[in-house]
Structure 1
Amino acid sequence: MIRWLLIFMALALSARAQDRVVNIYNWTDYIDPSVLADFTRETGIKTRYDVFDSLETLEAKLFAGHSGYDIVLPSNEPSFSRLIKAGALTPIDRAKVPNWKNLDPVLMQRVESSDKDNRHGAIYLWGSIGLGINPDRIHAVAPDAPLNSWALLLDPKWAKQVAPCGIIMMDSAIDVVPSVLRYLGRSPDGATPEDFDAVSKALMAIRPYIREFASGGALEALATGQACLALDYSGDVDQAGARAREAGKGVNVTYVVPKEGAEIGFDMLSIPADAPHKEEALAFIDFVLRPDIMARITDATRYPNAIPATRALVKTTLLDDPNVFPTDAVMQRFFTIGPSTQAADRARTRLWARFKAGN
């Protein structure tokens, strides 16, 4: 009897070891795939990896419940703080994440307004929202266009001139509206009827000149020269520029932080409250917070991270690229946004639906 009991226990432990898995839900083009393979090789924990391209998609999955994911990466505002408030994320057991010590305390302090005492997440990567441009093609159709300003996109005078070479708008009200408010001289957190009316008027004025709404798709369109202007994430534009150079077809893509300012955001490694594999999730967070691993992720994605020790490990070309590691002067032009109310969310969603429909 004892022998059969021992055999049963051994089989059960073996099955458990084989079943160890972490289900990850991350942004498109936002990791070095070899990192996933190395995590499995070192820990024996398999990875299942899905992607999203907007915060709206991520929030819909998590608020519906039972997403099946163990690791999710919401931006600190508004999604991360909103998920915390709703009880959709679980606190991180730092005793099981020894590499937490590698995080930059100054950057972690920036997200404390979203997560008091940094209880629910660690910074994965961060970046800003600005303009991806092909200056050569824009100059060909609009020689006097202001390449350093939101006016290039949001002033209908310039949008009309640039439209023939292709304008792509990020398909995310959460990300776009604060930038429009900033351009209009209003608070990026503005949520009054007057604020949304002003945003609606500004967006509807350029609606005829928007070729496409996309998030992840803007990267490929910029890289291949199918579009010359896109409102997009900094790292995506930098990836597009790198791909264009590798293709060697004369496509020139660069990222612009508009002079009026650009929103900066932090994507947070966090664990859903109903995650089925919390221990495996903690192991994954600890793994990617190693400087050697995070440096590889920055090299692949061209987004900066929050681990100072990676500076000695990432590619020199990225360290010297102000679009990846912004200078102090550029950092002064960045702004962050605060939590949003449900009423503001509903108003923003209605505004966006009308904008996309063009009415």
Structure 2
Amino acid sequence: MLGIDHIDSWAVFFEPENLKKLSQCGVSMMDSADEVFPAVLNYMGMDPRSENPEDFKKAEAKLLAIRPYITYFHSSKYVSDLANGNICVAFGYSGDVFQAANRAKDAKNGVNIAYSIPKEGSNLWFDLLAIPADASNPKEAHAFINNLLDPQVIAKVSASVGYANPNPSAKQYMDPELINNPEVYPPQDVLDKLYISTTPPQAIMRLMTRSWSKVKSNQ
């Protein structure tokens, strides 16, 4: 459809001429301004943590240009739609895409799903656990965290959700295919291109929210 064998760039998603072709079979984008805007800013050569309103205007214009070709905005529906072949491209989380691929494989429905980290870079994120200072059950909370720190337990979690874990001792209990997948455990040269999002000032948050509403409503 695009005339290429391997997708490795945000250009597939953020350039209208490319997304227009893919819109024929369905395009999903996460309904998350704080995920999408940094990706667009980064793709356009700007700081993904920018606090410059002018940068967000440029990012908004880029998103409005591709808006006609986006089938829907949702932050979880794309998992089942990918697995069932109802859409052909999604802006989403790595683990979600891997889960969709596993569902399609288990269903033997002929749907082949691939995940790619764009060469321009993307968001590097972490799931964290914290116990509130006034927690009513701190003992149980510590027990839960300790359970997740068990190498065999976290290995099963990674196998189930398709996400990497930071416990080196867990690797002996994991499928080598998962450990050696560069999309799950990226090599250093890929990690060097990733960025970590931060919480922007309130003024930028409001600007981003307004822009996102404008993009979604296609106005």
Q: Indicate whether the TM-score tops 0.5.
A: yes
2:171 to 311, 329, 342: 311
SS at match of 1:198: helix
Aligned-partner Cα distance in 2 for 1:231–1:172? 10
Retained in 2: the 8 A contact 1:145–1:158?
A: no
2:72 maps to what in 1?
Answer: 212
Aligned-partner Cα distance in 2 for 1:302–1:193? 36
2:56 maps to what in 1?
Answer: 196
1:169 is displaced (CA, Å) by: 0.2
TM-score normalized by the length of structure 1:
0.58
1:341 maps to what in 2?
Answer: 201
Aligned-partner Cα distance in 2 for 1:209–1:146? 21
1:279 is displaced (CA, Å) by: 2.5
1:350 maps to what in 2?
Answer: 210
1:142 is displaced (CA, Å) by: 2.5
**Greater strand share, structure number:** 1
Aligned-partner Cα distance in 1 for 2:140–2:130? 12
Count of aligned pairs:
219
SS at match of 2:105: helix
2:20 to 160, 178, 183: 160
2:143 maps to 1:297: no
Query: 1:54-69 residue pairs with structure 2 within 5 A?
Result: none
Deviations 1:227-250 (A, max 9, x none): 111000111111111211221121
Aligned-partner Cα distance in 2 for 1:222–1:354? 26
2:145 maps to 1:285: yes
1:106 maps to what in 2?
Answer: none
2:47 maps to what in 1?
Answer: 187
User: Structure 2 stretches of 5 or more lacking a match?
Assistant: none
2:187 maps to what in 1?
Answer: 327
2:97 maps to what in 1?
Answer: 237
Retained in 2: the 8 A contact 1:255–1:323?
A: yes
1:145 is displaced (CA, Å) by: 8.4
Q: Percent identity?
A: 39
Deviations 1:147-205 (A, max 9, x none): 21101011011111110111000111111111010001000001211011011101111
Q: Relative contact order (C-alpha < 8 Å, sep 6+): which is higher?
A: 1
2:3 maps to what in 1?
Answer: 143
Deviations 1:96-149 (A, max 9, x none): xxxxxxxxxxxxxxxxxxxxxxxxxxxxxxxxxxxxxxxxxxxxx332587211
Moved more, 316-325 or 204-213: 316-325
Retained in 2: the 8 A contact 1:145–1:152?
A: no
TM-score normalized by the length of structure 2:
0.94
Q: Name which one, 1 or 2, has greater alpha-carbon Rg.
A: 1
Residues 168 and 345 of structure 1, relative CA distance in 2, 3 Å threshold: same
SS at match of 1:256: coil
Query: 1:19-38 residue pairs with structure 2 within 5 A?
Result: none
